[in-house]
């Protein structure tokens, strides 16, 4: 009798274990089948940014159940996002395109005025200042146009230049205004690699950082130092409070509210360009005062 009891107990235990294993296995299969549409939808949504303007709607691929309703909601949200991005790009592109004609008129008029030998030195200086501002605006318009396009193939068609070429051009452009303010311009050419970068974007990033340094520095120096795959812009200006440092790359944020010039868009544009190109910009404070902007360029886009 005891032997039969042990055998019966063993059979019950084995049966229970087998039943439990079978239940776990069936539950796993059922869970996979139930979650498969959700996993597929998540995968499609995750890669939807790469196909934003081309991908078909999600909802037709799913049944009229809870997952289907979720797909419909995603379609509506992605549609609104697509419309918003399209309107933004069209607005930026249209405005930038319309600005080109008056800028060309201003630049041509400045060239004609500078060719006039009867122009007195003071007037010539003012015309040169206008011409320089026109060139800065032209570069800014080109930057906005390229950011509005946002396609990789459009950006790849832009001319490529080395770090040294852009730095030397900007040093020549900004030396006059910087020294006219009584500041010392220091240029350290370093030993940058012969990597070529997007000319428009690199010029905009470096130029905006130099302009920002000039705007917030009243005495002392501005230094541009080149590195193998990046550059550093330092100044002895008023500096940026620690509580504002994280927000400085947001639109309409300025380092000093007492300064009336500028809208606080320069550093925001720098951040947008760096994000689009895979570059990295960091801001630190110098002692006893001043700022240090370090830009690391991604050498992949050669």
For 103-138, what is each residue's pLDDT tens digit? 888 889 999 999 988 888 899 888 988 988 888 888
Nearest 5°: the CA angle 198, 202, 205 is 145
- pLDDT higher than threshold 90 for residue 227: yes
- Residue that wins the pLDDT comparison between 141 and 50: 141
- Residue that wins the pLDDT comparison between 267 and 94: 267
- Show Cβ contacts of residue 206 under 8 Å, excluding neighbours closer than 6 positions: 166, 167, 170, 224, 231, 233, 295
SS3 3: helix
Q: Are 160 and 199 in contact (CB under 8 A)?
A: yes
74-78: Cβ within 8 A, 24+ apart: 74/41, 74/45, 78/45, 78/48, 78/52
pTM tops 0.75? no
What percent of the chain shows pLDDT beyond 90? 26
Comparing 122-131, 147-156, 266-275, the range with the smallest average pLDDT is 147-156
Which DSSP letter does residue 50 get?
Answer: G
Distance in angstroms (rounded) separating the CA atoms of residues 144 and 90: 11
What is the model's pLDDT at position 214? 92
- Show Cβ contacts of residue 185 under 8 Å, excluding neighbours closer than 6 positions: 171, 174, 175, 178, 179, 221, 222, 223, 224
């Amino acid at each position: 009798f005891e032997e039969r009891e042990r055998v019966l107990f063993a059979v019950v235990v084995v049966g229970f274990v087998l039943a439990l294993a079978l239940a776990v296995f069936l539950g796993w299969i059922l869970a996979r089948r139930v979650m498969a549409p959700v996993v597929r939808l998540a995968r499609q949504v995750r890669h939807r940014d790469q196909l934003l303007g081309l991908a078909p709607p999600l909802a037709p691929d799913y049944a009229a159940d809870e997952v289907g309703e979720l797909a419909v909601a995603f379609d509506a949200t992605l549609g609104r996002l697509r419309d918003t991005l399209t309107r933004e790009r069209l607005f930026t592109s249209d405005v930038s395109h319309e600005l080109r004609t008056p800028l060309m008129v201003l630049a041509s008029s400045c060239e004609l005025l500078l060719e006039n030998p009867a122009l007195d030195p003071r007037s010539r200086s003012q015309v040169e200042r206008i011409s320089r501002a026109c060139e800065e605006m032209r570069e800014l318009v080109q930057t906005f146009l390229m950011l509005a396009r946002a396609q990789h193939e459009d950006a790849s068609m832009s001319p490529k230049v080395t770090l040294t070429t852009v730095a030397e051009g900007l040093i020549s452009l900004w030396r006059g205004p910087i020294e006219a303010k009584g500041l010392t311009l220091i240029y350290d050419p370093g030993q940058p690699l012969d990597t070529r970068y997007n000319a428009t974007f690199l010029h905009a990033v470096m130029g905006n950082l130099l302009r920002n340094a000039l705007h917030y520095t009243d005495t002392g120096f501005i230094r541009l130092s080149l590195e193998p795959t990046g550059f550093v812009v330092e100044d002895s200006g008023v500096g940026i409070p620690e509580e504002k440092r994280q927000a400085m790359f947001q639109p309409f944020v300025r380092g000093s509210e007492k300064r009336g010039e500028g809208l606080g868009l320069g550093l925001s544009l720098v951040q947008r360009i760096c994000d689009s190109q895979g570059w990295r910009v960091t801001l630190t404070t110098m002692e006893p005062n001043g700022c240090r902007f370090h830009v690391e360029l991604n050498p992949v886009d050669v």
